[in-house]
A and B are shown apart, each in its own frame.
Chain A
Amino acid sequence: MLSYAAGCYGCHTSDPNKPFSGGYKIKTKYGTFITPNITQDKTSGIGNWSKTEFIKAMKHGISPSQKPYYPAFPYSWYSNMHDSDILDIFDYLNSIPSIKNKTSPHDLKFPYRIREALWLWRIVNKNLKNNKKGGLEVTNKNRGEYLIKAVTHCSACHSPRTWFSIIKDHENLNGKIETKKLLNDGSPNISKDKVKGIGSWSESDIVFFLQTGIKPNGDFAGKEMSKIIENGTSYLIKEDLEKISRYLLSNKNK
């Protein structure tokens, strides 16, 4: 369930017949990111990774060869995940068929293609980010918050970003305007504001939307959110979706 809800399947699958084998293209204003193979294949996948290396990649965005990952990989959010949940994902990836699929490198514009520049980005991000909510414990009280801030990483799309692509406030889910036509990187306001956000939705409206993509007014989720629902949130059990809804409608969601 976590491998789907956290977006692993959605982002690392371009062909449903070859799940988790990468090759999915994410078009951004920086160029196109091509997701890697995360099946257990030893040459094109992550078959040689240890549990420690997997946790380091997920929580710190550093590869086993000590290279920084681009923030298109949402490790900032996963850094809030419990090691036990991350290891559950690792075990699941170990249990599925290994697929040999060497994916192409990212196709990024200059200067974004210089991976070493990410070290500088990481320093700035570390100083500005407000996403590390350490000590989140899985209790019935804050599981919704944990799922939103650590697992499903809603603010990755629904929080405004600075010009340096850094999210200043992960608790601001006011959405953002599309940077360029056809990129589909805009996102709606999901704050609890009754007019601009989803404050007028009921708990069951949010649960139903995250299961089916259908809004209370009978309209539907857009293309990107439909994929997230189909490949991610629809895998969550109803109780977890109810906890997410409760958080989104609570005062914690500004």
Chain B
Amino acid sequence: MTKIIFMTAFLLSTIISNSASAQNAEDIIKYRINIMKSLGNHISVIAANLKGKVSINEDILPHSQSMLLTLSSINIKKLFPINTKASDSSKTKALDSVWIDKDLFQKSMSQSIERTKDLVTAAESGNNQNIAKSLGALGKSCGACHDKFRKKKN
């Protein structure tokens, strides 16, 4: 009888723990997708001003600063835990290289932070030509990171 109780308890705890872990993984994936989307939204706001679609140029600086704050606050270990790999979930586009080339991933992230600092400096100057140049350089840095660490869109 005791054996049966122990076995049942063990099985239940395994099921609960696995389901909690899976749920947690899905939530983290959604969470980091939202962070990446928020960065994209900031860029779209800045770009809309540079393209002349809107003329609310005073928004460029706060959105550049928000991007810098968001990128600088990313904790790779917390945002990309090992149980959120693409091989474990179809919901993420993150490639396994995120976990294999951890140092390179961290370095790429740091480079993007540096490029965002340049963007903030350009935004402070208010010169749209410099802002476009800095945004292009940031785009190149982010794009290079996506190439190595994000699944291609078909």
Contact = CB atoms under 8 A, between A and B. Distances in A.
Interface string B112-154: 0000000000000000000010011001101110110000111
Interface of A: 177-178, 184, 186, 188, 202, 204-205, 207-208, 211-214, 216-223, 226, 230, 234
A32 to B, nearest CB: 19
25 contacts: A184-B147, A186-B154, A204-B51, A204-B52, A207-B51, A208-B47, A208-B51, A211-B132, A212-B132, A212-B136, A212-B139, A213-B139, A214-B135, A216-B47, A217-B40, A217-B44, A218-B39, A218-B41, A219-B40, A220-B139, A220-B143, A220-B146, A222-B143, A222-B146, A226-B140
Contacts of B53: 202, 204
A230 B44 CA distance: 20
A202 B44 CA distance: 13
Given A186-B152, A204-B52, A218 B140 contact: no
Interface of B: 39-44, 47, 50-53, 132, 135-136, 139-140, 142-144, 146-147, 152-154
Given A186-B154, A212-B135, A217-B40, A205 B143 contact: no
Nearest to A217: B40
Nearest to B142: A220
Contact of A223 (B44, B52, B147): B147
A218 B144 contact: no
A205 B51 contact: yes
A238 B67 CA distance: 28
B47 to A, nearest CB: 6
